[in-house]
A = this chain, B = another copy of it.
Amino acid sequence: MIAVDAMGGDYAPDEIVAGALAAQREHGVTVLLTGPPAQLRLVIARLGAGSELRVVPAEDVVGMNEGALASFRRPRSSIAVACQLVRRGHAQAIVSAGSTGAIVAIARQRLLSLPGVPRPGLAVVLPTHPRPTVLIDAGATADPKPEMLVQFGHLGVAYAQVALGAVAPRVGLLTIGAEPGKGNQLTRRAHELLASEPEGGALPLAFAGNVEGGDLMAGSVDIIVTDGFTGNVALKTLEGSMRFAATEMRSALTSTRAARMGALLQRRGLRELHDRLDAESYGGAALLGLGGTVVIAHGASTARAVSSACALAASLTRGNITENVRIRLGVQPDRRGSHFLRRDR
């Protein structure tokens, strides 16, 4: 069961509801929509899906320009209610196209921690060749401890295995300079931890050493581990550079009449290239390390993107990513039989 925040996103609720319906019809995912019931009922009726979709009432909405403070300001928001559904065991994962900052803050506050993972990491899939690369953390935890980077490595491996079918994922550490001693204090210590034998029953990570900013799109490792500050700067730099390159390319290819004629001959190739360089092409981000995964779709998501996000959330749930992480970290289930510890313990 996937809880879908029907009110998050530039095209909410119409495109979100349509996407959730498509996921349920086409991918066999069962969804619970959160939002104002009267408004959502109208949208559902318009889609001719009267009895197919269930709605859980949430009166408040987090705006797309709201940040982390929304977690305190809006206890009854559609995203907070979606988290509550996971916390109470009515759903296993959440999909939202709302503000990333607000979603991360609300999920950290409302969902339980995974044992052995004190802070969540945001995983983003970069469209590298020949295989995609998982960048984690892309912005959930700005000041992690070195140990947390090792945990992010385990979260990334679990994600690559469950969502991308990676067989023996290799983990790189994002830093400056290739040698082990290079970097800042955080990465030098994290390098030592990643390179040493795992502690306390954790499985070993296939650590491939340091990678640099220039390796982000090289596809040389399966997972790139970093703190949420550096990861967010790097991801946005990547997106900004691709946008810059695409704009420059467009002007180069249409600068003269001859060039414009040339561009006509390249229509197909250019369209494909545009799709590949598209800043949004890496798909949604997955917030991992909490008792329940949150798939954060782009703010501008249409029904199709929401449907894909629901399918990703369902596949992470089916692949039992949280149990997978627990085993990787060698953490025993809680004595009370729950796999999740309360954040405040």
Contact = CB atoms under 8 A, between A and B. Distances in A.
Q: How many copies of this protein are present in the complex?
A: 2
Main secondary structure of the interface of A (DSSP, over half): helix
A259 to B, nearest CB: 4
Given A234-B233, A237-B237, A265 B259 contact: yes
Contacts of A228: 176
A200 B212 CA distance: 38
Interface stretch (A6-14, A163-171, A272-280): A272-280
A33 to B, nearest CB: 29
Contacts of A185: 142-143
Contacts of A244: 217
A264 interface: yes
Interface in A213-267: 213-218, 226-230, 232-246, 248-249, 251-253, 255-256, 258-259, 261-266
A182 interface: yes
A269 B253 contact: yes
A256 B230 contact: no
Contact of A252 (B213, B238, B251, B266): B266
A67 interface: yes
A121 to B, nearest CB: 14
Contact of A67 (B179, B184, B212, B264): B179
A175 B185 CA distance: 19
Contacts of A246: 245
Contacts of A213: 232-240
A266 B272 contact: no
A183 interface: yes
B143 A184 contact: yes
B245 A272 contact: no
A73 B227 CA distance: 33
A241 B269 contact: no
A50 interface: no
A323 to B, nearest CB: 31
A265 B262 contact: yes
A49 interface: no
Contacts of A179: 67
Contacts of A251: 269
Interface of A: 67, 101, 139, 142-143, 174-177, 179, 181-185, 187, 212-218, 226-230, 232-246, 248-249, 251-253, 255-256, 258-259, 261-266, 268-270, 272-273, 276-277
Given A139-B176, A256-B266, 9 more contacts: A213-B236, A214-B236, A230-B233, A249-B249, A255-B269, A256-B268, A256-B269, A261-B265, A262-B262
